[in-house]
Structure 1
Amino acid sequence: MAKDSAPATTPRPSRRERRGVQQEAAVAAAFELARREGVGGLTMRRLGEALNVDASTLYRLFRDKDELLLAVYDHATAIELDEIGEVNEDEHWQDTLRRIADRIWATAAHSPAIAALTFARTTGGPAERRMVELILDTFSRSGLSRSATVRYYRAFVDAALGLAGQVATLATLDPEIQAKDASSWTRIYAQLPDGEYPTARAHITELTSIDRRAVFDVVIEAILAAAERESRESGL
């Protein structure tokens, strides 16, 4: 009679794999903590409490808080990529870039603390690398030269992140300061003397009614239009 075969054993994860899992859990918790409690809530102590570990444990996973912040921002970029999804071959390159810009804006609107702290940084993480590849590939589909592709890539990314980051930074201020800043046009500019500032006074209604998303869309569309024009002219 044949002997029963020994039950299969699951290989134990390596130390590196366990560390990776712990890092992912810490980053996900830090992302939610920052979304819920803002800039001030994202401390190693608070994160340790959320994970039920001592803060010293986190310093074995990340060199310092800055490394954690960059990992959190890369996590936010990974969420953006998931929301963008697959890019169909028949999707116009401008529409792809519009969807990317929309997701960048959404991160700033929904996770202002994270965007405000890191929008000007380079993470070098896996999600950022994928995003760089996606945007470069999308611009290259327009028919631009390699140098023009990089130029418009930088213009698009710097404009989108800069304007979205500005909104995110304002959103992290105390409500009283936000209200003071928002009322500047009516509190200061609407009271300027007509004789000295006639153009500003003539446009005060429009100045007080325009929102930052409208400005964001104007800038993105201007970049896309300029890229299309240069692509078309280079093909003549």
Structure 2
Amino acid sequence: MAQAAQQNDRRARLDPDTIVDAVLRLSRQEPTERLTFRRLGVELGVDATAVYRHFRNRDAIVRAALDRLFGLAVERTQSGGGRQAWRTRLEAYLDELMTVFIQHPSLGSEAFATDTYGPGELQAIEFVLGCLTDAGLPEERVVHYYAALESYTLALGAGIALEIQRLPDSAGHDPWLNPRVFTALGGHPLLEKHRTALTRLDSLGTFQAGLAAILDSAERDSTLSATT
């Protein structure tokens, strides 16, 4: 009787936020598993069909959970306090976004191909546009660099999340190039020349390198705009 009463109480309190909370728990605890309504029902202690009352399909749940991650990344960035320089804020946010994708790989792996249309993603877009505006870029270049940063981070973030699903202990530090690449370098003098640096490169290191290149370019554009 007590167990039945507890289950009925959990059903009564089932709402979209509770469901998304459960999705985030599962995506962190079971990084290699694909989200299913059945597994979600078990986690919530309800029949899987109860979830359909709040989300019409799996895609809707994934969008809501991803939207929460976007909002979380902005929240963590802003909790640092103080008015930091535009580049510092952008780097902090994009690092936080990559972190939440790594922490929830089954969701992060779907980030590039999924628009959430929710308040979290809109807040994140506004944050990035605000940073780029503060950089002093011309209006058309603000959108240009937003597009570059967004597509780059989401694509590589999804790729690293997929990598973690395959190698749960890698945490984004899987070698960027397979060591087999370096077993036969004849005829490739530049590979040989940069061999040591290339062998040290991992997925997160690659992300940081690309991010720095984009932001370096934005800084040059900003400086040029200020002098013309």
Normalising by the smaller structure, the TM-score range is 0.7 to 0.9
Distance 1:139 1:21 in 2: 40
Query: Who is 1:169 aligned against?
Result: 162
Task: Indicate conservation of the 8 Å contact 1:74/1:125, yes or no.
Answer: yes
85-94 or 116-125: bigger deviation: 85-94
Query: Who is 2:201 aligned against?
Result: 210
Q: Counterparts of 1:16-55 in structure 2 under 5 Å? A: 22-55=15-48
State the 1:224 CA deviation. 1.4
Q: 1:189 aligns with which of 181, 185, 191?
A: 181
State the 1:79 CA deviation. 1.7
State the 1:46 CA deviation. 0.9
State the 1:42 CA deviation. 1.7
**Aligned structure 1 segments of 4 or more residues deviating by more than 6 angstroms:** none
Which letter does structure 2 place at the counterpart of 1:216? Answer: F
State the 1:100 CA deviation. 0.7
State the 1:143 CA deviation. 1.2
Q: Counterparts of 1:1-236 in structure 2 under 5 Å? A: 22-85=15-78, 90-173=83-166, 182=175, 185-186=178-179, 188-194=180-186, 196-235=187-226, 236=228
- What are structure 1's unaligned runs of at least 5 residues? 1-18, 176-180
Greater C-alpha Rg: 1
State the 1:39 CA deviation. 4.8
Distance 2:143 2:51 in 1: 37
Local SS of the residue matching 1:53: coil
Distance 1:87 1:144 in 2: 25
Cα RMSD for the two superposed structures: 2.6
21-30 or 206-215: bigger deviation: 206-215
Which letter does structure 1 place at the counterpart of 2:189? Answer: P
Distance 1:183 1:134 in 2: 30
Distance 2:148 2:199 in 1: 28
Give % identity: 28
Please report the TM-score for the alignment, with normalisation by the length of structure 2.
0.84
Local SS of the residue matching 2:15: helix
Task: Indicate conservation of the 8 Å contact 2:176/2:202, yes or no.
Answer: no
- What are structure 2's unaligned runs of at least 5 residues? 1-11, 169-173
